Amino acid sequence: MTLAEELAARGLIEQSSAPAEKILGGERTVYWGIDPSADSAHAGNLVSVLLMKRLGRAGHKLVFLVGGGTGMIGDPKEAGERPLLDVETIEKNVRTLEKQLRTILGSEQKFEMVNNADWLLKEKLVDFLRDIGKHFTVNELVKRDVIRRRLETPDESISYTEFAYSLLQGYDYYVLHQERGVDLQIGGSDQWTNILSGVELIRRKAGQETFALTVPIVTDAVGKKFGKSEGNAVWLDPKKTSPFAFYQFWLRLPDDGLEKYLKMYTFLSLGEIEALMLRHRAAPQEREAQEVLASQVTELVHGPAAAAQAAAATDALYGDTPFEELSAEARAVALAEAPSLMLGKSELEAGYSLAEALVAGGLASSKSDARRLIEGKGITLSGLPITDPDQKLYPGDLSGGHALIRKGKRDVLILKLK
């Protein structure tokens, strides 16, 4: 199977400016760019980053562009102007994005990192309009989806600043082609027309053929794309989305679309994915495919240790592993991530109502609701089902200084001794 055939089989090619076999048949120098509009990439960006990693493994040269210049303007979005960031914030975001990319690509993968601020901030306005602007027509630009929708929507408008973004992205491609031999740009399918701007600019100014290839926009279970603008971003920065929460996101995906995510986000072979999905369909309640997906993607982003700790903490909170059997690192993850309720020794010595603990910990809306849950056999304490609505908690119930309460399969509360 050729590289183009595998990428197509994985659902990683949405649009291409020429047949994929032609584009990927020879050695390319390929670039992908990200604007520093936030201090972290997210799960939506990750598809393109991993595509770059696949291309690098196949022998293509990689160039990553962080948009320190274009980030001062911002790509037009569906509604409203993007807030303009100050230079200090942009520079900070550039540094953190570069660090993330280097972590995900790994030390074995060679690549070059560039910042378009190095050339865009030196460009003179009149020179740019004369040398670059003349190759773009307003007629073409107003037909582009986002610009057209903004212009057609009542009470919406678009500034010249955002209107000119395509010229800057096209110029990036031209500069990288002239200075580094870049001849392929990849990106999300929402960037298709911006990428084509560069292809056309290079053809008109240099008379040379370059290429464009996009990946599909990845959506979540309700059809929203993974991204900042949708308010459902799953960040790659562990301070914004912890490795445990990141692992949980993939683990809790529904069966619909699961095979697609495995193909796009993991480096498992297509044969391994097919075998995994056969086992999953035979026993979906085991959620093996979700566990493999969560482990694989978390390891790619946060490393094997964080992935292992997230998996172990998950099994302790929602599975069968006792807390006492966890490593110190995995136990710390579980205790830090799960909702908790602190109880004093004197409270426990007097006997603390389990029903009151459920209410105080947010697992029940009222004491009567808590009693109903207990009587309905919906509550376990340290793995043991509780049936007495008048159950009391004592110091011995918090062996090791904590105890785990579960409501159903997904709601947990850790009791901690002050």
Alpha carbons 398 and 139: distance in angstroms, whole number = 71
State mean pLDDT over 73-79: 63
Q: Which residue has the higher pLDDT, 414 or 138?
A: 414
Task: Return the half-sphere exposure (C-beta side, CA atoms, 13 A cut-off) of residue 21.
Answer: 3
pLDDT higher than 60, residue 285: yes
Q: Which amino acid is at 77?
A: K
pLDDT higher than 60, residue 78: no
Tokens encoding 81: 């102007």
State mean pLDDT over 232-250: 92
Tokens encoding 174: 């031209």
Domains and CATH numbers, the chain: 3-215 (3.40.50.620), 243-337 (1.10.240.10), 340-417 (3.10.290.10)
**What proportion of the chain, given as a percentage, has pLDDT over 70?**
94
Task: Report angle CA 144, 158, 186 to the nearest 5 degrees.
Answer: 40
3-state per-residue secondary structure call for the chain: CCHHHHHHHCCCCCEECCCHHHHHHCCCEEEEEECCCCCCCEHHHHHHHHHHHHHHHCCCEEEEEECCCHHHCCCCCCCCCCCCCCHHHHHHHHHHHHHHHHHHHCCCCCCEEEECHHHHCCCCHHHHHHHCHHHCCHHHHCCCHHHHHHHHCCCCCCCHHHHCHHHHHHHHHHHHHHHHCCCEEEEEHHHHHHHHHHHHHHHHHHCCCCEEEEECCCECCCCCECCCCCCCCCECCCCCCCHHHHHHHHHCCCCCCHHHHHHHHCCCCHHHHHHHHHHHHHCHHHCHHHHHHHHHHHHHHHCHHHHHHHHHHHHHHHCCCCHHHCCHHHHHHHHHHCCEEEECHHHHHCCEEHHHHHHHCCCCCCHHHHHHHHHCCCEEECCEECCCCCCEECHHHCHHHEEEEEECCCEEEEEEEC
CB 257 within 8 A of CB 216: no
pLDDT at 411: 93
- Most confidently modeled range among 163-172, 190-199, 225-234, 241-250: 241-250
pLDDT at 73: 76
Residue 230 — very low, low, confident or very high, per pLDDT cuts 50/70/90?
A: very low
pLDDT at 147: 72
Alpha carbons 302 and 306: distance in angstroms, whole number = 6
How far are the Cα atoms of 80, 149, 192, 369 from residue 153, in angstroms, in the given order? 11, 6, 22, 48
pTM of the model: 0.88
- Most confidently modeled range among 10-24, 35-49, 130-144: 10-24
